[in-house]
C-alpha cells in the first residue's frame, strides 16, 4: 500500500498481549504505525517487522506522563502528519476485596487505566477533528459492563471508560470520528502473570468471594479460550467498517456473561417501572 493511502495507527501498550499482536498485524499490512511502550527495548524489534522501516515509529510512552504524550503527538505529526486510528490498549489489573483495597494501588490504576487514556485521547482529537475522520478504539473488558468479586476497582476503571466513551461518541460522531469499546473476556495473554497486582484478602468473610477468585486467577493463565491474534484481526476489520459498533464483546465466555447480565439488569429495571414513574410530579 502506498504511503499516501496508508492509515496511521497509534497503539499503546505494545510490549505484550493484544497491543503487540495488533501492532505486528498492522505492520505486516504495510500501514504506518506508532507503537509505544514504557520501555522501548521491548518494542525495538517491531521496527524491522515490516517491509518499510520508515512506516514504523517506536516511542516510549508512559501515559501517566504529560511530557511523554506531548512527545508522541509531536513525533506523529512530524513523521506522518495525521492519526487515523487510536488504540487505547495500555492498562493493567488490580485485585482486592473492596474493603481491603489499597488507596495508593487504586489511584495508580486509575492514573493509568483512566486518566492516562483520557489525556492521550484529548491530545489526539485535534488531529482527528482537522481530518474530519478517525476511529478511537478503547480496549476495556467485560469488567467494563459487569463486576466480579475481587475486581471492584478494576471494574470501576473500565466502567469509567465505558461511560466516558458514550459521551465522547455523542460529541465526535457528527465530526466523522468513530468510537468503539472492545470488551474482551478471558484471553490467552500474560495479563495475569505480568501486570496483575493484588492486595491479598485477609478478612475471612471474603474468603469464598474475592479471596477465592483472586487465588485462582493466575492458575488459568495460558489456558484461556480467547486468541489475541484472532481478536487483533477483528479489530483491524472493525476500522474498515463504515458504521462500526460502539460495543464489541470478544470471546464466547465474555459474550455469554455480558448478555446474561444485561438481560437480567433490563428485566430488573423494567420490573420497577411503576416505582420509577411515581417519582415524577403528578401530571395536571
- Tell me the residue length of the chain: 284
CA 197 to CA 178: how far, in whole Å? 32
Give the CA radius of gyration of the chain: 20
Q: Known catalytic residue: 94?
A: no
Tally of CB atoms within 10 A around 108:
15
Task: Give the number of other Cβ atoms within 10 Å of residue 207's Cβ.
Answer: 13
Q: How far is CA 176 from the centre of its chain?
A: 21
- Asked whether 126 and 181 are in contact (CB, 8 A), the reply is no
Of 94, 153, 154, 206, the active-site residue reads 154
14 near 37, Cβ under 8 Å?
yes
Which three three-digit cell numbers place residue 154? Answer: 478494576
Q: How far apart are CA 102 and CA 98, in angstroms?
A: 9
Grid cell in block for residue 132: 474530519
Catalytic site residues? 154
Amino acid at each position: 500500500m502506498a504511503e499516501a493511502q496508508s492509515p496511521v495507527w497509534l497503539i499503546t501498550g505494545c510490549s505484550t498481549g493484544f497491543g503487540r499482536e495488533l501492532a505486528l498485524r498492522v505492520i505486516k499490512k504495510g500501514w504506518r504505525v506508532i507503537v509505544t511502550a514504557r520501555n522501548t527495548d521491548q518494542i525495538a524489534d517491531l521496527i524491522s517487522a515490516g517491509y518499510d522501516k520508515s512506516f514504523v515509529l517506536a516511542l516510549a510512552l508512559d501515559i501517566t506522563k504529560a511530557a511523554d504524550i506531548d512527545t508522541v503527538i509531536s513525533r506523529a505529526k512530524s513523521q506522518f502528519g495525521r492519526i487515523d486510528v487510536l488504540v487505547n490498549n495500555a492498562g493493567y489489573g488490580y485485585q482486592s476485596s473492596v474493603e481491603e483495597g489499597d488507596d495508593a494501588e487504586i489511584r495508580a490504576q486509575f492514573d493509568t487505566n483512566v486518566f492516562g487514556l483520557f489525556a492521550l485521547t484529548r491530545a489526539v482529537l485535534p488531529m482527528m477533528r482537522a481530518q474530519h475522520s478517525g476511529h478511537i478504539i478503547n480496549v476495556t473488558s467485560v469488567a467494563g459492563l459487569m463486576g466480579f468479586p475481587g475486581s471492584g476497582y478494576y471494574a470501576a476503571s473500565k466502567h469509567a471508560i465505558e461511560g466516558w466513551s458514550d459521551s465522547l461518541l455523542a460529541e465526535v460522531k457528527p465530526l466523522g470520528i468513530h468510537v468503539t469499546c472492545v470488551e474482551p473476556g478471558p484471553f490467552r495473554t500474560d495479563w495475569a502473570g505480568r501486570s496483575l497486582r493484588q492486595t491479598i484478602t485477609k478478612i475471612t468473610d471474603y474468603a469464598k468471594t474475592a479471596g477465592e477468585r483472586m487465588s485462582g486467577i493466575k492458575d488459568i493463565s495460558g489456558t484461556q479460550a480467547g486468541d489475541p491474534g484472532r481478536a487483533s484481526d477483528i479489530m483491524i476489520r472493525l476500522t474498515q467498517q463504515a458504521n462500526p459498533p460502539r460495543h464489541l464483546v470478544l470471546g464466547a465466555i465474555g459474550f455469554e456473561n455480558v448478555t446474561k447480565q444485561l438481560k437480567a439488569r433490563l428485566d430488573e429495571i423494567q420490573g420497577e417501572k411503576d416505582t420509577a414513574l411515581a417519582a415524577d410530579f403528578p401530571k395536571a
